Amino acid sequence: MGASILTAKNLSKVVPSAEGELTILHELSLELNKGDSLAIVGASGSGKSTLLGLLAGLDLPSGGEVTLAGQGLSNLDEDQRARIRAEHVGFVFQSFQLLDSLNALENVMLPLELDGRKDARERATELLQRVGLGQRLTHSPRQLSGGEQQRVAIARAFAAEPDVLFADEPTGNLDSHTGERISDLLFELNQESGTTLVLVTHDERLAHRCRRLIRLEAGLLVAPLEP
Ligand SMILES: Nc1ncnc2c1ncn2[C@@H]1O[C@H](COP(=O)(O)OP(=O)(O)OP(=O)(O)O)[C@@H](O)[C@H]1O
Ligand SMILES: [Mg+2]
């Protein structure tokens, strides 16, 4: 397949703890091409969210390097990394991080408006309809259920058509039917726009729809990356 969009080389993360330094990610390398889909699986505490944050440039590694859309992230300052993220990345957090002062529609419109898109309202409305929330546009996050907030977060992450969509447990709060719908949507966008998917998931069905899969055990990569 096409050119590589995301690479990690000898990525590690060490954090201080009361017992001394704690290695939460050990020398991990991977390479993803445009349009790939990767599932990251592993037990709670194995380092999945840590890895996702490093790959998306939200956090800096203790060692190694991430290259996203041709740019090495370690040499960039926080503003430059923020610009790369705005241009290339969508992120669905484990805790949705919606803005409480904005309603569902405004939350999804925000990245589009920051991007200067004139069709922000139309596109945000369409995405919310696609995740089944056409009747909840003016609800604030507080007035939405956990699963509904999850779906708003997914619509927001897709809004600006990112090259790479990172999602931490995208179906974690959803019943199996809604989860399946969201999985379908993720792979539709993967097919339609060539969006690369990097998903942390405990959902076996979702994991097995991805072309590639890695398993973490205590911060170590234990499953092969190749299909
Ligand atoms: N900033 C930090 N300081 C100290 N320890 C941390 C820090 N961030 C993460 N950890 C530890 O690193 C380990 C990996 O955390 P991480 O959040 O990546 O796990 P996870 O695989 O996403 O788990 P879950 O499935 O429960 O979300 C955990 O044991 C956690 O306590
Ligand atoms: Mg996690």
Instruction: Give pLDDT tens digits for 45-89.
Output: 999 999 999 999 999 999 999 999 999 998 899 999 999 998 899
Q: What is the CA radius of gyration of the chain?
A: 17
Residue with tokens 């234990």: 222
Instruction: Name every residue whose Cβ is closer than 8 Å to that of residue 190 and which is 6 or more positions away in sequence.
Output: 35, 37, 196, 197
Do 7 and 55 meet the contact criterion of CB atoms below 8 Å apart? no
Print burial letters for 70-89: b (CB count within 10 Å at least 16), e (below 16): ebebeebeeeebeebbeebb
- Return mean pLDDT, the chain: 92
The structure's pTM equals 0.91
Distance 168 CA to ligand 2 centre (A): 7
Each residue of 156-169: pLDDT tens digit?
A: 998 888 999 999 99
User: What share of the chain has pLDDT > 70, as a percent?
Assistant: 97
Q: Ligand 2 centre and the CA of 37: distance in Å? A: 19
- For residue 227, the model assigns a pLDDT of 53
Q: Is the confidence at residue 174, as pLDDT, over 90? A: no
pLDDT at 15 over 70: yes
Q: Which residue among 12, 13, 24 is best mutated to probe the pocket of ligand 1, counting the most ligand atoms within 8 A of its Cβ?
A: 24
pLDDT in tens, 122-145: 999 999 999 999 999 999 999 999
Distance in Å, CA 95 to ligand 1 centroid: 14
- What pLDDT sits at residue 1? 46
| CATH H-level, domain 4-225: superfamily | P-loop containing nucleotide triphosphate hydrolases (3.40.50.300)
Residue with CA nearest ligand 1 atom 27 = 44
- Please give the single-letter amino acid code of residue 204: E
Domain ranges (residues) in the chain: 4-225
Q: Which residues surround ligand 2, an ion (CB under 5 A)?
A: 49
Ligand 1 binding pocket (C-beta < 6 A) is 15, 17, 24, 42, 44-50, 94
Dist. CA 93–CA 87, nearest whole Å: 18
Instruction: Report residue 181's pLDDT band, with 50, 70 and 90 as the boundaries.
Output: confident
Ligand nearest to the CA of 24: 1
